[in-house]
Amino acid sequence: MEMNALFALEEAEASIVTLDDLSKKLRLSKVQAWKLASRLVRKKRLIRIKRGIYLFAPLKAGKKGLWTENSLMAVPILMKDKEYYVGFWAALNHYGLTEQIPLTVQIVAKKQMRAFKALQSSFEFIRVRRIGQWQEEKIRDKSVRFATVEQLICDCLTFPEKSGGIKEACKALWNAREKINWKNMQALEFTGAAWRRLGYLCELLKIGTIKTKKVVGWRWLDPSSSKKIISKSKKWGLLLNISEKELTQWREY
């Protein structure tokens, strides 16, 4: 029965599997389908992501069931009927703005959910009060919501620690310069600190045109880095704890 199930799932190039799928494909009762799924979970051919819903790890995933292709495809199932979008590392990689391979799928959502691991990926949920701009992207046969490029840059500047710090955000901004709709960028709801970081980096990279706003007080350029002041940007009200050379070091490679 297990071999028949695996053959049927391989043949169908299945990614997300439900108990109903197993029941219909193999003409099993619900109890039989549940027992079969339980055995396949123990053998790491199915990875449980929600009650009655599994990721299928095909045989080419190897003995340990290590398979990353399906991680993003699982997101619409996980977030069914919920507001969300995929952001940060996974979105940066999807848009080609970083060469880093994400091991964490970061999902921006209005509802807090518990983080968990499946296959080679960790799923992390970042709670926000208001969902920003997103667009649907195809991952094989699934439509997955991703932050727009502009929203992604905004998020990375708001939470630098979620995407490798301000240096990665700077590199992503440069790589995205021809993809960004600057009018849409200006219309986003930036926090004061994120807007300052955007203005400073745009001036440094000589891209875009960001309007200055009245600044009160000081903010860290990179709150995820050490709190050692190298210099200050009075125009943007930023305490610079990362040097210009460090911010653009990636250009040397």
Q: Are residues 129 and 199 in the same domain?
A: yes
Q: Are residues 47 and 15 in the same domain?
A: yes
Give the model's confidence band at 69: pLDDT under 50 very low, under 70 low, under 90 confident, else very high.
Answer: low
Does some domain include residue 198? Answer: yes
CATH of the domain at 9: 1.10.10.10
Q: Which of 85-94, 157-166, 206-215 has the lowest mean pLDDT?
A: 206-215
Q: Are residues 138 and 26 in the same domain?
A: no
Domain span at residue 15 reads 2-61
Q: Are residues 80 and 169 in the same domain?
A: yes
pLDDT, tens only, 12-47: 767 778 888 888 888 888 888 899 889 888 887 787
Q: Are residues 95 and 55 in the same domain?
A: no
Q: Are residues 13 and 97 in the same domain?
A: no
DSSP string for the chain: -HHHHHHHHHHTT-SEEEHHHHHHHHT--HHHHHHHHHHHHHTTSEEEEETTEEEE--GGGTTTT---TTTGGGHHHHTTTS-EEEEHHHHHHHTTS--PPPSEEEEEESS----EEETTEEEEEEE-SS---EEEEEETTEEEEEE-HHHHHHHHHH-GGGGT-HHHHHHHHHHTTTT--HHHHHHS---HHHHHHHHHHHHHHT-S--------S-EES-TTS-----EEETTTTEEE-S-HHHHTGGGG-
pLDDT at 80: 82
CATH of the domain at 78: 3.30.460
Q: Are residues 164 and 43 in the same domain?
A: no
Does some domain include residue 222? Answer: no
Does some domain include residue 157? Answer: yes
Does some domain include residue 250? Answer: no
pLDDT at 60: 52
Does some domain include residue 23? Answer: yes
pLDDT at 70: 64
Does some domain include residue 247? Answer: no
Q: Are residues 106 and 153 in the same domain?
A: yes
Q: Are residues 42 and 85 in the same domain?
A: no
pLDDT at 142: 82
Q: How many domains does the chain have?
A: 2
Q: Are residues 114 and 160 in the same domain?
A: yes
With a cut of 50, say whether residue 64 has pLDDT above it: no
Choosing from 10, 35, 61, the residue where a domain stops is: 61
pTM for the full model? 0.79
Does some domain include residue 132? Answer: yes
Q: Are residues 19 and 86 in the same domain?
A: no
pLDDT, tens only, 149-192: 999 999 999 999 999 999 999 999 999 999 999 999 988 989 89
Q: Are residues 85 and 145 in the same domain?
A: yes
Give the model's confidence band at 65: pLDDT under 50 very low, under 70 low, under 90 confident, else very high.
Answer: very low
Q: Which positions ≥6 away from 137 have C-beta within 8 Å?
A: 94, 143, 144, 145, 146
